Amino acid sequence: MNYCDLAPSYIRAIAPYQPGKPISELERELGITGIVKLASNENPLGASPAAVAAMQEAIKSIALYPDGNGFELKDSLVKRYGVPHANITLGNGSNDLLELAARAFLTPGDKVVYSAHAFAVYALATQAVGATGISVPAAAGFGHDLPAMQKAAKENKAKIVFVANPNNPTGTFLSADDLLAFMRGLPPEILVVLDEAYNEYLPEDKRYDSVSWLKEFPNLIISRTFSKAYGLAGLRVGYALAHEQVTDMMNRVRQPFNVNSVAQAAAVAALRDTSFVKKTFELNRRGMVQITDGLTRLGLEYIPSFGNFVAFRIGGATAMYRRLLELGVIVRPIANYDMPDWLRVSIGLESENAKFLSALEKAINQQLNGENK
Ligand SMILES: *Cc1c(COP(=O)(O)O)cnc(C)c1O
């Protein structure tokens, strides 16, 4: 018998998430070291030293179950954002929160709206519960077309709309005014998950206070993560802010201990270390200029990005990806985002960005010289 047939058809239809290639895997394949990974939007500075110290302390109590309610971490978030405990859900990464929203509210046949080229997990979380995803074509420049998404959500009586700001892998940004107009035009029974995984990377003049919108919009779910600017991707911790009834439902479907004790301790310390986040932000800003200047010099088109990564267009993207691997640089192909001619590179340290640019130049020359790949 075929055991796949035991799974519902909507599970069999899922195309698995394609993560960035781990450094250790490429090391094994090529037998080389000194590999630069700019494939998963990780923090090139690592984690805050304060978070690392908190983790070492937390390990002493590793035999004990974590606080299933995450009291201390929620308390830190209460202090930071001024929202009560009852409005906070903690997640095993913000990926968990996207799934909790789907599991709590969707049933097979429900409709979910998201943008073309939007973060892949929206479709995965939707499919895993048998709901139907509606991918709305992007606006010019690969951004979310909010008016079209609003229309699609209303016409299809969608239950959830996923909005990424900035979006990954395109790096596109939606202004506070556009988001507010979008929210105001939606009926309150349509939930909006506003995924702000890269919020900390927004330039000062683009920042907005989405948390204050929760008062006006009981249907708004804001998700944030410690994986990106806080440098804790390996720990898996994120949080969602939403109306207490929405929060209540999300909490009913989560695992009782979904965020481990080391992650909780690290997140508390990381939240406090604002100077680390600032340093990360500054490094990213310089690196973004370095990489986009380099892409321009090489004559490549890119999508202006508000995150810690940038997508660029390159002929023979798949072959280029492989050439870059052989030169010791891991970037991310995004053909699965309907962008087969594009690659996405994360912003690294200055030396990593330089290695990427020189490898890219070399790979382009190899291609021009007709060297096979
Ligand atoms: C990386 C990312 C996330 C989630 O990352 P976690 O590590 O699960 O917190 C969520 N949304 C977007 C758009 C991302 O790029």
Whether 248 shows a pLDDT value over 60: the answer reads yes
Q: What is the pLDDT of residues 189-225, one digit of tens each?
A: 999 999 999 999 999 999 999 999 999 999 999 999 9
Quick one: which atom of ligand 1 is closest to the CA of 228?
1
Quote the distance between the C-alpha of residue 268 and its chain's center. 20
Fold of 19-46+275-372: Aspartate Aminotransferase, domain 1 (3.90.1150)
Q: Which residues are CB-neighbours of 219 under 8 A, at least 6 positions away? A: 186, 188, 189, 190, 191, 192, 243, 246
**Would you state the pLDDT for residue 370?**
82
**pLDDT at 371 > cutoff 90:** no
- Index of the ligand 1 atom closest to the CA of residue 238: 9
Class of domain 49-272: alpha beta
Q: Based on the number of CB atoms within 10 Å of its own CB, is 252 exposed (0-12), middle (13-18) or buried (19 or more)?
A: exposed
Report if pTM > 0.85: yes
Mutate to test the pocket of ligand 1, among 114, 194, 228, 232 (most ligand atoms within 8 A of CB): 228
Q: Can you tell me the distance from the alpha carbon of 326 to that of 348, in angstroms, rounded to the nearest whole number?
A: 19
Q: What pLDDT was estimated at residue 17?
A: 82
115-133 residue pLDDT tens: 999 999 999 999 999 999 9
Q: Which residue has its alpha carbon closest to ligand 1 atom 14? A: 197
pLDDT tens-digit map of 325-354: 999 999 999 999 999 999 999 999 999 999
pLDDT tens column, 68-95: 999 999 999 999 999 999 999 999 999 9
Q: pLDDT tens, 315-325?
A: 999 999 999 99
Token pair in block for residue 339: 């962008």
The CB of 197 under 6 Å from ligand 1? The reply is yes
Pairing relation of β-strands 329-330 and 220-225? Answer: unpaired
Kindly report, residue by residue over 154-173, the tens digit of the pLDDT: 999 999 999 999 999 999 99
Domain boundaries, the chain: 19-46+275-372, 49-272
- For residue 237, the ligand 1 atom closest to its alpha carbon is 9
